[in-house]
Amino acid sequence: MPDLTRVEKRPIDSQLRQLKTELAYARADVSKLERRADTPAGQMDKARARLQEAERLVEAYVAP
């Protein structure tokens, strides 16, 4: 069996990768909390704020 070789098709800056990973986790948290009927409003607000901050950081990094 041949050895597995991972190849990055489009190299991505490590900081951008980190920002996008945080964005993905923030989106997942908001989505998970939205599906639960018993989510406290404060927890939902924190998750949405985290998502907005992650989106802002990605936009700020990508924009010239």
Residue among 41, 49, 21, 56 nearest 33 (CA):
41
Any residues with CB less than 8 A from the CB of 43 and at least 6 apart, and which?
33
Two structure tokens written together for 21 = 């990973």
Q: Tell me the pTM.
A: 0.79
Q: Per-residue pLDDT for 48 more than 80?
A: yes
- Region 37-53: mean pLDDT is 96
The confidence band for 18, taking pLDDT boundaries of 50, 70 and 90, is very high
Looking at residue 28, its pLDDT comes to: 98
Q: How far apart are CA 54 and CA 59, in angstroms?
A: 9
Q: Which two tokens stand for residue 4?
A: 């597995």
